[in-house]
Amino acid sequence: MVTSLSLGEARRLALTAQGFGQKRPRSATVRHLRDTIRRLGLLQIDCVNVVCAAHYMVPFSRLGPYDRAADDLIYRSGEFAEHWAHEISIIPAETWPLLRYRRETDRVRPWGFARVLEEHADYAAWVLEEVRRRGPLAADELPPPDGAPRRIPGAWIGISRLYDLAERLIPVEHRSRRVEYDEGRRALLLQATQAHAVGTTKDLADYFRMSVREAKPLLRELVESGQLHEARIEGWREISYLDPNAKASRSIEAAALLSPFDPLIWSRPRVERLFGFEYRVEIFVPPEKRKYGFDCCRFCLGINWSREWT
């Protein structure tokens, strides 16, 4: 059975799944922040802060003002961790075992990382031992590999952070849980569908940076098991996959500024299909070719589909 959806229905479902179908709390608490991250499945970390770093702005778009001292929830509670998920992201700790295949087989991202580890294997082992012996360390507390510059050529963002061993940060029940590769990928595709409500193979694969080739057979398995439904959306050429538990709010009253790295809009082809809006992040576009600007945010306004994107 294939579910047919109008474009308006798909929009409502998508916005509701992303947390825009409910009113903002009068005073956002740590609980609201926790629930928002779990609803989205991840927060992409991006420190371009022309407006605000993405991992702070995304919750703000859904909750309004909140205390950024809630960083303790992310880095001290054991409930969340950093992992290469979409890009480098904050994920719930229980997602850690689902990404085992990424840690063990995919060293392509970030670009060049695998090559650096191979060329400086002894140095990487020494760094691990120093962190194990001394505790959390910042990058500038250790010398660079012999002959290597301290700063990556062309780098233009400076970030101050501490690095520690996963074994000291991830609760043992999550670190010790062994998830087979396809089981993990299926669970991630389910999370992606819950966060999108409905999406094409490419939409859902992109959420956790999975290849379409990997995702296709797993999505078919999820349909066959009844965990996902196939859907046809008005104006979309490809078959889509629907979260059978997805609900669409009766009204969408959101008024939210969206980071370029907000999961609602980070897939530009999906933005065009879903909202009829062409959007490009112009950070890496030469200035003379920019249409909107270096770091242009979109604005989502309510349920009036003729004018919600400005």
Summarize pLDDT for 258-294 with one digit per residue, the tens: 988 999 999 989 999 999 888 888 877 888 888 887 7
pLDDT at 36 over 50: yes
Q: Using 50, 70 and 90 to split pLDDT, how confident is the model at 297?
A: confident
- Report pLDDT for 153: 63
> 139-198: per-residue pLDDT in tens?
889 888 876 666 666 655 556 688 899 999 999 999 999 999 999 999 999 999 999 999
What is the mean predicted confidence (pLDDT) over 247-253?
86
pLDDT at 305 over 70: no
Q: Which residue has the higher pLDDT, 36 or 150?
A: 36
pLDDT at 86 over 70: yes
- Report pLDDT for 104: 87
**Cα gap 236→249, rounded to integer Å:** 22
**Cα gap 160→139, rounded to integer Å:** 8
pLDDT at 68 over 90: no
- Report pLDDT for 75: 83
> 89-124: per-residue pLDDT in tens?
999 999 999 999 998 887 555 566 777 788 888 998
pLDDT at 71 over 60: yes
- In 87-235, DSSP assigns E strands to 88-92, 137-138, 162-163, 198-200, 229-233
> 208-245: per-residue pLDDT in tens?
999 999 999 999 999 999 999 999 999 999 999 999 99
- Report pLDDT for 17: 96
**Cα gap 143→84, rounded to integer Å:** 25
- Report pLDDT for 156: 56
Q: Which residue has the higher pLDDT, 77 or 195?
A: 195
Handedness of CA 137, 140, 143, 147 (dihedral sign): positive
pLDDT at 309 over 50: no
- Report pLDDT for 310: 39
> Is there a contact between 40 and 19 (Cβ–Cβ < 8 Å)?
yes
- Report pLDDT for 118: 83
- Report pLDDT for 270: 94
- Report pLDDT for 224: 97
Nearest residue to 188 via CA among 70, 67, 282, 101: 101
Find the helix packing angle between 30-40 and 54-63, rounded to 10°: 110
> Is there a contact between 230 and 240 (Cβ–Cβ < 8 Å)?
yes
| Three-class DSSP category at 36 | helix
